[in-house]
Structure 1
C-alpha cells in the first residue's frame, strides 16, 4: 500500500462529507482526490523531481502532499522561518523541484525550480479541471516525504519517510472510516512538522474533517474550535500553555472531545490546569519523532484521569509519562553499549516497527537489526509506561558526572510562580560544565533566584543544583516547542540577563 491507496479508499468509500476545510465550503474526499490528480498532472508535465512547500498551513498543503504521492515524487515541506542562507542550502538539495512558496520566498527557488506558485495559485490551479493523465502507483519502498530536522545543534538532516512507513503508521493507529459525520479536527502545527503530515493522512483515512489554522493566537484557536465545532485537536505544549495563561480569553470549548499534545515536554502545571478546566476533554500525550513517522507511544484519556486523581505517587507520576507503546511498535531502554537495562533504570530509548524509518538523505539507514536509536533518554516502569527524560545531546557533564537537565527542570517547574524553565551546561575550565538555569515567571509573579536555588538544593544533590539562575521574560523555543538550548548557553556564557 501507498499514500495513493489511502486517498482512493477515502474517496471511493466516503459519503461526500467534507474532509478538508470549513463545513461551509470545504472539499470532499472525492474533490480532494481530483485536486490532487490535477496537481500531479502539473508536476508530471514539468518533469518535477520533487514538490517543495515553503509556506504556512492552509488547504494547499494537503493537496500538495497527495499530489506529490500521485506523481510519484517526494513531498518536501521546508521551514519557512529559516534564514535565507539556510533556505537556499536546503533548496539546492532539490534541483528540478516544483516549488510552492509564499511571495516572500519565491525568489529563492528560481534557480532550482521547474515551476513556482504561491499556495493560493497552486490551489486554484489544482481545483481547475485538467487532463490529468494516469496517476502513479508508487512502490511502498519509495520515498513519500522528506522532512528536515530542526538543526538546532547541527546542520538539518533530511529524514526519508517511505510510503510503507507512513501507511503502516496510519493503518496501525486509525480505523478506516471510523469518524462520525459531525467530527472535525483542528491542526495548527506547521506543515514541516511530522505531526502535520500524519494528521492529514490519519484524519483523511478516518473520514474526519480537517481544519487548518495558519497563525496561532489563543483567541483565534479558541474561536475556531467553537465556530467549526471542532471535536479533536492537536497542539504543542507551548500552544496549550498560552491558551491556559491567557486571562482575557473565553476558554469554553463545548464541542472539543479529544486534545492530543506532543513535540516537547509538557510543563506539569499546564496539563494539570487543563485537566481541571476542561474535565470533559480526553487528553492524549503522543510521543514520537520524525524518524518514526509520528507517534510511537500514547498516554490516553483514561490514563490521564486516573493519574491526575491518584494519591499514589507512582501512579500520579504517569501523568507526565509518554504512556505505553502503540500496537506494532516495540520499545527498549538500553545503556551506552546498546544493552537493554532493567525495568526502571535510565538509558537511551530504542524503537522498532514498520513505521520506523531511521533513514536520512545521503546516509545509510541508522538502524540496528530493525531497531532505531532515538537518542532520547528515558526509562520504562513495571507496567510499561515510558518516561522521556531529555536528549542524550543535552546531557550536562559536570566533573565527569552525567546530569540530565530534565531532572533539574522538573524541580524548578514545580516551584510557585515558575512558568517555564531550562537547565543547561555552560562551558567551564575547571568542571567541564557548570550548571546554569533560566526561569520565566507566571503572570504577575516575582521570582527570587536565591530561593529557587535553595528549593533545587533541597530536592537535588548539591552537585545537581544550578550554580546560577537567570530570570528571563521568555525562553527561546522553536515553533514546535523545543527549547533552543544552544541560544540559552550562548546568552548565559556572556552573562546576558543574569539576575541571580
Structure 2
C-alpha cells in the first residue's frame, strides 16, 4: 500500500467536500487529488530523485506530499530556518531534487547542484495546468514515502527514512476512515518539515476532516483563524500554547468555543501551563502525544479523561500523571532497559525501546533496529505501576557524577516549584573531582526578585540528594528552544561555559 491511497479514498468518497483551507482559498478533496496527479507529471519530467519543500505550510505541501507518493519518489520537506551553509549541505545530499518554495535562496546557495525549482505559486499553478495522462499507472509501491532530516539538536542531522508501510500502520491503527463530520476542522500550525505536521495531514485526510492551515504561527493569527473557520481540533507545541494563553490574558478576544480537542507534543509541557489551560478551556479535551520521527509520530498518549482526572484530584500520585505522556499505543510494544539491556522494573529509569509496524528506525543506508526489531529511542524514562510513561530527557542528557547517573528533569522539576522561577535547565558541566557535576540556567518570572544561589541549592538539597546540588548557577533572560519547543541543551552548556 501507499499513502496516496488515503487521498484517493477521500476523493472517491466525497470529491466535493472541502479538504483544505489555506490563505483564504478552499480546496476540495477532488481538486487536491487532481493537483497531486498533475504534480506527478512535473516530478517525472524533472528526473528528480526527491521532492523537497523549502517553504512554510501551504497547499503546496499537501500536493507535493501526495504527488511524490504517486510518483514513487521520497518527499523531503526542509527546515527553511537553517543557516545557508547547513541548508546547502542538506540540498546536496538529495540532489537532484524538485524543490518547491524559496527559489532565490536555492539559486544563491546551491545553484550548481542541478535542482528543478518552482516557487510555491508556480508549482501550484503548474500542477493544476499539467496534462495528466489518463492511462498512467501510478507507482503505488511500498518504498520510501518520507525522508526527514532530524533536528540535529545534539549532532549533525540524520536522514530518517519512513516507508509507506510505517506511516500507514500508524494511520490505519489510530484513525477511522471518514469518521469526521463535515463541519470538523483541524487547525494545523506546526512546520511542514516536522513529523507532527505530516501526521496531521495524513490523519485529517483519512478521517476527511477539513485541514485549516496557518502558514506561520502567531497567537493572534491562530485565535482569529480558529474563530473564522470554527476549528474543532488543533495540535500545538508547549510554546505555542503558552503564547496563546498569554495573548488571551492580555485581552485578545476570539470565540474559540468550537475547539473540542487540543493535542500537544514536541517538547516538555510545564505543569503550571497545562493546569492553566485546563482551567481556561473547561470543555476542551487535551491530549499529550509523545512520538519521534523514526516512529512515524505518536507512540504514547495521555488522553482527555486522564488530564481532567489528574487536574481535579487531590491525590499527589494522580496529579503527577499530568507530567507523564500517558500509555503506549496498543499497536506498539515499549520497554525500559538499563545499560546492560535488561528490562527495568516499574519506577526505575532507563532508555525507552519501542517495536511495531509503524516504527521505522531506519536512516539513509543503515537501520538502527536490533535483531529483534527494537528501536532505541535515546529517550530516557520510566513506567509506573499503572503503565504510564514518564520521560526523563534524552539518554545523552544524563549527568554522570562520579559514576552516578542523574536525570536533568528531576532537578528541573524541583526548581520549578520555586515561585520566582519561570523556566530552568540542568546540564552537565565539567568537574575535576567528579568528572561531571550539575549546572543550571534559570529564568525568573517577570517582577520577581532573584533568589540567592544558596537558596536554590538548599531547595534541591531538601528535595533530592546532595549530589544533585548545582556547582554552577546562571540567571538568564530566556532559554534556547527550537521552533518545535525542544530545549537546546547544548546551547545551555555553552551559556554556562561562558
**TM-score normalised according to structure 2 size:** 0.96
Deviation at 1:194, TM superposition (A): 0.3
**Does 2:399 match 1:396?**
yes
Check conservation: 1:260, 1:284, Cα contact below 8 A: yes
Deviation at 1:135, TM superposition (A): 4.7
**Does 2:450 match 1:434?**
no
Residues 194, 60 of structure 1: alpha-carbon distance in 2 compared, 3 angstrom cutoff: same
- Distance of 1:136 and 1:449 partners within structure 2: 66
- Distance of 1:238 and 1:4 partners within structure 2: 32
Deviation at 1:15, TM superposition (A): 5.5
Q: Which residue of 2 aligns with 1:189?
A: 190
Deviation at 1:282, TM superposition (A): 0.3
Q: Which residue of 1 aligns with 2:359?
A: 356
**Does 2:464 match 1:463?**
no
Per-residue Cα deviation, 1:127-147 (whole angstroms, up to 9, x for no partner) = 22522452523322x100001
- Distance of 1:240 and 1:104 partners within structure 2: 33
3-state SS in 1 of match to 2:79: coil
3-state SS in 2 of match to 1:63: helix
Residues 363, 22 of structure 1: alpha-carbon distance in 2 compared, 3 angstrom cutoff: closer
3-state SS in 2 of match to 1:111: helix
Q: Which residue of 1 aligns with 2:42?
A: 42
Check conservation: 1:449, 1:469, Cα contact below 8 A: no
Residues 437, 388 of structure 1: alpha-carbon distance in 2 compared, 3 angstrom cutoff: same
Q: Which residue of 2 aligns with 1:137?
A: 139
Q: Which residue of 1 aligns with 2:412?
A: 409
3-state SS in 1 of match to 2:154: coil
More displaced stretch, 474-483 vs 410-419: 410-419
Check conservation: 2:22, 2:59, Cα contact below 8 A: no
3-state SS in 2 of match to 1:26: strand
- Distance of 1:45 and 1:103 partners within structure 2: 18
Per-residue Cα deviation, 1:295-317 (whole angstroms, up to 9, x for no partner) = 00100101100111112222111
Check conservation: 2:15, 2:30, Cα contact below 8 A: no
More displaced stretch, 17-26 vs 212-221: 17-26
Check conservation: 1:48, 1:97, Cα contact below 8 A: yes
More displaced stretch, 122-131 vs 233-242: 122-131
Check conservation: 2:368, 2:375, Cα contact below 8 A: no
Q: Which residue of 1 aligns with 2:230?
A: 229
- Which runs of structure 2 are paired with 1:204-215 in the superposition (5 Å)? 204-215=205-216
- Distance of 1:195 and 1:164 partners within structure 2: 17
- Distance of 1:294 and 1:489 partners within structure 2: 29
- Distance of 2:449 and 2:58 partners within structure 1: 40
3-state SS in 2 of match to 1:178: coil
More displaced stretch, 418-427 vs 186-195: 418-427
Check conservation: 2:41, 2:130, Cα contact below 8 A: no
The alignment covers a number of residue pairs equal to 493
Per-residue Cα deviation, 1:384-422 (whole angstroms, up to 9, x for no partner) = 111111111101112221111000111122221322211
Deviation at 1:119, TM superposition (A): 1.5
3-state SS in 2 of match to 1:419: strand
**Does 2:19 match 1:16?**
no
3-state SS in 2 of match to 1:238: helix
Q: Which residue of 2 aligns with 1:281?
A: 284
Structure 2 portions without partners, runs of 5+:
none
Q: Which residue of 1 aligns with 2:84?
A: 84
3-state SS in 1 of match to 2:287: strand
Residues 425, 237 of structure 1: alpha-carbon distance in 2 compared, 3 angstrom cutoff: same
- Distance of 1:441 and 1:219 partners within structure 2: 25
- Distance of 1:129 and 1:183 partners within structure 2: 31
More displaced stretch, 177-186 vs 102-111: 102-111
- Distance of 2:204 and 2:494 partners within structure 1: 41
- Which runs of structure 2 are paired with 1:126-165 in the superposition (5 Å)? 126-132=127-133, 134-140=136-142, 142-165=143-166
- Distance of 2:448 and 2:246 partners within structure 1: 13
3-state SS in 2 of match to 1:221: helix
Structure 1 portions without partners, runs of 5+:
495-500
Check conservation: 2:103, 2:117, Cα contact below 8 A: no
Deviation at 1:221, TM superposition (A): 1.2
**Does 2:183 match 1:179?**
no
Residues 212, 24 of structure 1: alpha-carbon distance in 2 compared, 3 angstrom cutoff: closer
3-state SS in 2 of match to 1:263: coil
**Does 2:93 match 1:93?**
yes
Q: Which residue of 2 aligns with 1:483?
A: 487
**TM-score normalised according to structure 1 size:** 0.95
3-state SS in 1 of match to 2:112: coil
Per-residue Cα deviation, 1:296-349 (whole angstroms, up to 9, x for no partner) = 010010110011111222211111111111121111111112111112221111
Match for 2:477 among 457, 463, 473? 473
Q: Which residue of 1 aligns with 2:344?
A: 341
Check conservation: 1:20, 1:210, Cα contact below 8 A: yes
3-state SS in 1 of match to 2:25: coil
Deviation at 1:433, TM superposition (A): 1.7
Per-residue Cα deviation, 1:103-124 (whole angstroms, up to 9, x for no partner) = 4522134322441011122112
- Distance of 2:156 and 2:206 partners within structure 1: 34
| Cα RMSD for the two superposed structures | 1.6
Q: Which residue of 2 aligns with 1:498?
A: none
Match for 1:332 among 332, 335, 339? 335
Per-residue Cα deviation, 1:453-486 (whole angstroms, up to 9, x for no partner) = 3322221111102223222111001111111111
Per-residue Cα deviation, 1:165-211 (whole angstroms, up to 9, x for no partner) = 00111111100000011110111111110001111100000000111
